[in-house]
């Protein structure tokens, strides 16, 4: 039974969870819902869908950003797609990367290429390349002039990313790690270097700097996502974001921190 009083919007987004242990969101459209990534087990995704009042039968497809386990769970993506009898949208390169990691490739796959738009559930979907250590994409979702943008798992904010995320009313942006906490962590040196590289993740400082160009005049909501449990602190991210929005004189933008353990309330744009 749903614990949220808000009904799923005509167009909007519900973040089911975000972090190193799993990522998944629902994109609500006029003609149905889409799942963006399936980084939890099928059982856990269905439980979270129930929590936010979304009928799993309303999910028309799964869109994948990239082939890492926290976005394509070994017991989540393929199993959920099979159970719901829905397609999974993947890049061709992601199939090879899943096979290399011995993760089951979904039976019903529809291939797409970044840079080529397509429509599902009445939503215009535009995948675009981001810099990561596997082939990865961000997405924008548009309905009747309203726009949502997702960019997580990227080592830096390229001009392409800035261009594609222009004009988003809702922006979901990675703020993965604090540089000092990463440096002092017990992670192996090679992993620290990868995370901090241009094919890794965005630091808090990277994310805050990017906001000046990413926040559009019509941006209403900002979600900081994929916050590292070991190398970051939600209170620090909140403090930095509040200060940065004040510096940019954008107190009109409401900000939220995506959680690993529980969904956020749905965002409604229409």
**Any domain includes 41:** yes
- DSSP E strands, the chain: 12-17, 24-29, 32-36, 59-63, 88-90, 109-111, 118-120, 123-130, 136-143, 146-151, 170-174, 221-225, 254-257, 267-268
pLDDT bin (cut points 50, 70, 90) of residue 10 is confident
Task: Give the mean pLDDT of 136-150.
Answer: 97
Q: Is 60 exceeded by the pLDDT of residue 38?
A: yes
CATH of the domain at 191: 3.60.15.10
Look at residue 7 and tell me if it is in a domain: no
156 falls within a domain: yes
Residue 9 scores a pLDDT above 90: no
Quote the DSSP letter at residue 58: G
Band (17; pLDDT cuts 50, 70, 90): very high
Quickly state the pLDDT bin for 7 (edges 50, 70, 90): low
- Could you give the number of structural domains in the chain? 1
Q: How far apart are CA 197 and CA 177, in angstroms?
A: 12
State residue 5's pLDDT score.
47
Please give the structure tokens belonging to residue 77.
């993506």
Domain-located, residue 3: no
Q: For the residues of 136-151, what is the DSSP string, one character each?
A: EEEEEEEETTEEEEEE
Question: What is the span of the domain harbouring residue 112?
Answer: 12-268
86 is a domain residue: yes
With respect to residue 160, please indicate whether it lies within any of the assigned structural domains: yes
Please indicate, yes or no, if residue 230 is contained in any of the structural domains.
Answer: yes
Q: State mean pLDDT over 75-80.
A: 94
Query: How confident is the model over 205-242, as pLDDT tens digits?
Result: 999 999 999 999 999 999 999 999 999 999 999 999 99
Flag whether pLDDT at 21 surpasses 80.
yes
Of the candidate ranges 101-110, 148-157, 215-224, the one whose mean pLDDT is the lowest: 101-110
Report yes or no on 97 lying in a domain.
Answer: yes
């Amino acid at each position: 039974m749903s614990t949220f009083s808000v009904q799923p919007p005509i167009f909007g987004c519900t973040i089911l969870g975000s972090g190193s242990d799993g990522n998944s969101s629902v994109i609500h459209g006029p003609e149905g819902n889409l799942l963006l990534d399936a980084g939890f087990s099928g059982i856990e995704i269905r439980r979270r869908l129930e929590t936010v009042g979304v009928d799993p039968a309303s999910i028309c497809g799964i869109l994948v950003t990239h082939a890492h386990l926290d976005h394509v769970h070994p017991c989540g993506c393929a199993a959920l797609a099979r159970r719901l009898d829905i397609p999974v949208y993947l890049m061709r390169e992601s199939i090879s990367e899943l096979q290399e990691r011995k993760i089951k490739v979904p039976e019903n796959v529809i291939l797409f290429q970044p840079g080529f738009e397509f429509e599902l559930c009445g939503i215009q979907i535009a995948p675009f390349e981001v810099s990561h250590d596997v082939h990865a994409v961000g997405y924008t979702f548009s309905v009747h002039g309203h726009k949502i943008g997702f960019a997580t798992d990227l080592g830096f904010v390229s001009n392409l990313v800035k261009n594609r995320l222009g004009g988003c009313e809702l922006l979901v942006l990675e703020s993965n790690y604090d540089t000092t906490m990463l440096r002092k962590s017990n992670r192996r040196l090679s992993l620290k270097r990868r995370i901090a590289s241009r094919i890794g993740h965005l630091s808090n400082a990277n994310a805050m700097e990017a906001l000046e160009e990413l926040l559009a005049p019509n941006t209403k909501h900002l979600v900081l996502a994929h916050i590292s449990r070991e190398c970051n602190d939600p209170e620090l991210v909140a403090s930095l974001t509040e200060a940065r929005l004040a510096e940019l004189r954008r107190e009109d933008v409401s900000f939220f921190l995506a959680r690993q353990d529980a969904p956020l309330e749905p965002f409604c744009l229409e």
